[in-house]
Amino acid sequence: MSTVARTKLDKELQKAVQTVQGLHKEVQKGIAAHSQLEAQLNENKIVLDELALLTDESRVFKLVGPILVRQDLFEARDIVTKRLDYISGEMKRHEKAIKEAEDKQEVSRKQIGEIQAQYQSIAKK
């Protein structure tokens, strides 16, 4: 086959490899963010468990900057519950993005395999 066809295959291969590398970075970034969210989720679950142990007369304080501000127990529970819902939603969003990137990565890998097969057919000729 001609050098023009080979050059075209080289460009296609290079593009596919760059796509796989970019998607790999995207997956790694998503996994790191997901891990961080998982840690935050666990911390907030512990806080909610601790708040559940308190009585209605218990005092709850929230750290705002360098000072502690008194907070209503019911309000604190509500805030932590909403935070848990938000973090769970973000985790699902990251899981979906990771899955999509992995699927795209697989498609690009198949494309690389096809290009390599074309190289082999050229080499045989």
Which pLDDT tens digits describe the chain residue by residue (125 residues)? 467 777 888 888 888 889 999 999 999 999 999 999 999 999 999 999 999 999 989 999 999 999 999 999 999 999 999 999 999 999 999 999 999 999 999 999 998 898 888 878 877 76
pTM of the predicted structure, to 2 decimals: 0.80
Residues 38 and 31: beta-carbon distance below 8 Å = no
Cβ neighbours of residue 59 closer than 8 Å, sequence gap 6 or more: 70
**3-124: CATH topology:** Helix Hairpins (1.10.287)
Q: Kindly tell me the sign of the dihedral angle through the C-alpha atoms of 46, 48, 53, 58.
A: positive
Give the span between the Cα atoms of 103 and 90, in whole angstroms: 20
